[in-house]
Structure 1
Amino acid sequence: MNKLQREVDKLIRELGGYWAPFEMLAALVEELGELSDEMLKFENVKGNGKMENLKEEIGDVLFALLCIANYYGIDVENALLASISKYRNRDKLDGNDNS
């Protein structure tokens, strides 16, 4: 993940730098909407979806999220590992086993 985070940072700097925080948040929300549309298509709720379009939208969401993380200096790998641990411990305490 760190390598990908650095790759995003390099590209953004080549393109002129990061947007303001709330502009990046708006971009993430927009990408989430596009992902939602593709999921609806893929699940045959709203047309027919294609795996390639679904992959593209997931990539766009990740890109937008990495931009926000980079802007704030957050190591996404550590953040994700902390979240995994949090969910693992919470689900153990609740007696849920979702594996």
Structure 2
Amino acid sequence: MNEHQIKVDELIRELGGYWNPFEMLAALTEEVGELADEILKFEGVKGSGDIQTLEEELGDVAFALACIANHYGVDLIEALDKTAKKYRQRDGNKW
């Protein structure tokens, strides 16, 4: 686990422990929906966006992802690095 996931883990344990995987997935889905709503505001589709709210929603999504990653023992930074390498190799010549 990276330092951010450790902080999430400490907080979750302090608050009583992790939810079940399907509950965490539902929480992630809810947070992604809230992020989508804020992006729609930023793009002028639903009013006007606010950078602080966008930051909060991105943080909520990252927190929910960290909870799921912690449950399964996945380091998110390592996973992100692997994904970036995958895209570089697969899509490096597309643009």
Q: Same fold (TM over 0.5)?
A: yes
1:38 maps to: 38
**Runs of 4+ in structure 1 displaced over 4 angstroms?**
none
Report the equivalent of 2:66: 66
Letter paired with 1:61 = V
Please tell me whether residue 25 in structure 1 is matched to residue 25 in structure 2.
yes
Equivalences, count: 95
In structure 1, the residue matched to 2:82 is 82
TM-score where L is the length of structure 1: 0.92
- After superposition, what is the alpha-carbon deviation per residue over 1:25-54, rounded to whole angstroms, capped at 9, x for unaligned? 000000000000000001111101110110
- 2:94 paired residue number: 96
- The residue aligned with 1:48 is 48
Distance 1:52 1:26 in 2: 24
The percentage of aligned residue pairs carrying the same residue is: 63
Cα distance, 1:15 vs structure 2: 0.4
The alpha carbon displacement at 1:91 in A equals 0.9
Give the TM-score taking structure 2 as reference length. Answer: 0.96
* Structure 1 residues not aligned, in runs of 5+: none
